[in-house]
Each structure stands twice: as structure tokens, then as C-alpha cells.
Structure 1
């Protein structure tokens, strides 16, 4: 087994971002106890699928789950260079062509419970290797050892490799960059996964601008603008600044009762005494 020290960027250690990946981890756990092998793909390169795959694997590891991240983006891997893992000699390619055993290509990292299998050299036939018997057998063997297997696959909008891997997994997560991918394009990629027989777990909307006002800030400004104006217009006259003090009523001059009034009052008083 090899060893690798991972270097995470400052943004990947951001509290809000880590909490978002914890939520993603929980949602996958709630998908069922049989969902242990999860592939990550996207529509095009640069949408952040590798970052999502690594962060998700890290989130599982930090929760005490023994997790392995498999770099199956064999055509254009960025994992080794991005996380500055140093001199890792062996990768997935060596295992799939039969040159090395699975245990030899697994890297133990400095993050507890997190292991990585890097892609290795670029082979001439990635799709055939990922759809072959050796890769399927490797997944079965890893299921016996690891709690979760996260597989980073190539963008499905570019090559078919992701669909080949997805049909061997328990579920697939698609990463979509915010304001970058059209609905039709994303739907075509999803249709390709459906045709391959993949189980779609959901979509991660990535690179969302979270610096603006949130929903509550928006609602607050809305109600402050419209309801404040409404109440100020219709109820403001009852406010403290607009109190109208009524003038003091004139003292009424009591009228002296007439003789007839006195006779009627005396009669009523006599009736009440008799009762």
C-alpha cells in the first residue's frame, strides 16, 4: 500500500462548504443502506466534479466511515496535481491491465479513514478497461473492505466512460455548474445515464454565488418596502406623531325637572317599593 499526503485548499476548508458536503453525505446515507458505491460525473470539464468527489469522500471519512476515492477519470486526471500528493507511482491503470494487485495501488492518506486510488498512466482503451471483468472484480473486493466507494468519472458530455462505470455502481451524482449548463444539455446527459441503467441519486448545483442576499434577506426587504409603505399610509395617522386631541366638550347645563317629571318619578319609586 502506498502513502499520500493530501493538501486541501483554503476554500475546501471553509465551514459553510464543509457543511454543504456533510448535507450531501447525509442525503446519500438516507438513500438506502445498499448505496455504497457512488459515481460522480458532470456534463463538461471544469464543473467541479473532482472537487465534489474528493470533498464527499472526505466527509464520509470524517464521519468515521472507511472510504476510498477511485480516480476513474483516466483520460485527463487532475487529482494528483491538484492535491499535490507527491510521488505516487502506481494507479488504477496498473491494476486494470493486470500488472499490479489492487492492494498495491491503494494509497493511505493523512486523513483518517480516507484512501485514494489514483488513475495512473493514460491507457489507450479506458472504456474497455472500466467495463471489463477486472474493474468489476475490484469493486466487489473493495466492498468487502470499505464502507463507501466514491468514483470520480470523466464528464459524460465528452466521453462514454462515466456511463460504463455508473451501471456498475449503486448510484450516481451529477455535478452541474450554476449558470453554465443548459437544461437540454443536462437532460441529454441524464438520459444517457438512464439508458445505461444507472440509478440517479441527484444533482449537485456547483459554483453557486452565495455572497448575495439570502431568501430571508430578500423577503425582509420585500415586506419592509411594501408592507411598511402600506401601514404607513393607512395607519400612520394613528401614530404618535399624528394624534388628534379632541377638544374638551362643553359642560352641559342640567335642566330643572318639571312638576310632571317629578310626579312620574315619584310614581315609579312607589311601584318599586311595593314589589
Structure 2
């Protein structure tokens, strides 16, 4: 079966995927540190399914999730990135791939996983975009088909990274978390309110899925013009 292949083009996309266009930058190094910390976050089992989310919009979760996927693919892991933000998807812009078919196409049986996946070269990173935006995102994400898709993907990939909508906006992230082994929460320096972060942590904790850590995004260091990404 022929598969689509995406290639990053344009300054906007390059800025988002700094781990691809400037792998030696301090920011890229922070993403590799984040990768290492994720790998050591669980001593009992290897993390294979991971959800990335945030408290609110525009806090950098999608950019963070995409770059995490890139550094794992650079390590040689067979990685699948799933854009499960069915309300405001962005992966097709970030990776410059088509969105004719995607997650919603697979969940509604209009396509299978192999047909819907885009391969981003030269990494070999597999990207499942959102597909056409549905009128019922929560129902699709909580469906039996979603669970079946994750189980199928687990047989084919070393790591599955899922980007979801913000936690305080809708319940989608909480729904999907039950299918994942761990959660990475993204907070934005100077933007995320402490009370929102605490509420988000409480909501995610109730799902029973382990919070692997928190990524502090957009923290500008005084001694460097770069923005560093750190995790706790």
C-alpha cells in the first residue's frame, strides 16, 4: 500500500520542529534530555503509549509533542505521532503533510491505519493527522474503535505519542489517558495560571494514569537568547 511522505517546508514549520532543522541547538538538547527522563520515568515497564496535553490553549503542547516524537525517531525508535486534538488539529501544518485521511477516518472505518499514516522523511517518523474534523470528538475518542487502534499500533510501534486538547477546555484528554501508560503535562512560563495547573493535575490524576512529568515551556534564560524547555 502506498503511503504519503511529508517533508518540512517553510519557516513557521521549521521553527516548530527545531529538533529537525537545528539539532545542535540548546533547545534541541533540552528535548533530548526530556526524552531521557521519559525513558527513566518508569522502572517497572517501558513507556510505549504517552499522552501530551496542557491546561489551556496556546501553551505549546502540540509543538512539544511533535518535537518529542522527532527526538525519539532520531534515536531509532519506531514512533507514531497521533493528532487526537480533533477540535483544533495542527500536525498536518507542523509536519507539512496531507490531512485528507487521518485519525477520524480510521475511527469511522473509512480508512485503515496503514493507509492513513504519513511518513516524514528522512526520520521515518509516522504521523497520523486528525483527519476531517468530526461533530462528535468525545464520542469518537471514547469509542471501541479508538481502543482497537491503539492496540493495533502497539503491535507495530515502539512508541506512540498522542497530542490531545487542553484538559480544562474539554474532557478529551481524560478520555484518552485511560489508553496510555503516561502523561506529559506542558505549562507555559508566564501564561499558565497556578490554579489551572493544579486543577489539571487533579483531573488527570483521577484517571489513574501516571503523570510522567511537567514540561516548562517558553522560559527565557537571561544568559542566552534561546528559549529553554525544562522538565520537573
TM-score range, shorter chain: 0.7 to 0.9
Pairing partner for 1:24 from 34, 45, 52: 34
Q: CA deviation at 1:6?
A: 2.7
TM-score by length of 1: 0.74
Query: Please, which runs of 5 or more residues in structure 2 have no aligned partner?
Result: 225-232
Which protein has the larger Cα radius of gyration, Structure 1 or Structure 2? Answer: 1
SS in 2 for 1:144: helix
1:76 aligns with 2:78: no
Deviation at 1:148, TM superposition (A): 0.5
1:121 match: secondary structure: coil
Query: What residue number does 2:150 align with?
Result: 139
State the secondary structure of the residue aligned to 1:206.
Answer: strand
- Residues 185-208 of structure 1, C-alpha deviations (whole Å, 9 max, x = no match): 101011111112221111000001
Structure 1 residues 138, 180: closer, same or farther in 2, change over 3 A?
A: same
Verify: 1:122 aligned to 2:124, yes or no. Answer: no
State TM-score, norm by structure 2: 0.87
Question: Alignment partner of 2:160: what SS?
Answer: strand
Is the CA contact (8 Å cut-off) linking 2:99 and 2:130 kept in structure 1?
no
Question: Which of 180, 184, 188 is the aligned partner of 1:173?
Answer: 184
Q: Deviations over 1:56-89 (max 9, x none)?
A: 000000001110100000111122223332x442
2:114 aligned partner: 103
Q: Within 1, Cα distance between the matches of 2:15 and 2:64? A: 15
| Higher RCO (Cα < 8 Å, 6 or more apart) | 2
Partner SS state of residue 100, structure 1: coil
Higher share in helix:
1
Contact 2:99–2:132 (CA<8 Å) still a contact in 1?
A: no
Moved over 3 A (4+): none
- 1:92·1:119 contact (CA, 8 Å) conserved in 2? yes
Q: What's the Cα RMSD here?
A: 1.5
Asked whether 1:49 is paired with 2:61, we answer: yes
| Higher-strand-fraction structure | 2
> In structure 1, the residue corresponding to 2:51 is in which secondary structure?
strand
In the other structure, the counterpart of 2:162 is 151
Structure 1: runs of 5+ lacking an equivalent: 215-275
C-alpha contact 1:34 1:170 (8 A) present in aligned 2 = no
Secondary structure of the corresponding residue to residue 185 of structure 2: strand
Summarize deviations over 1:16-47 as a string: whole Å, max 9, x none: 11100101111111123431101000011111
Residue aligning to 2:229 = none
Residue 199 (structure 2) pairs with residue 199 (structure 1): no
- Residues paired across the two proteins, number: 212
Give the Å deviation of 1:124.
Answer: 1.2
Query: Counterparts of 1:188 and 1:10 in 2: how far apart (Å)?
Result: 31
| Residue 79 of structure 2 is aligned to residue 67 of structure 1 | yes
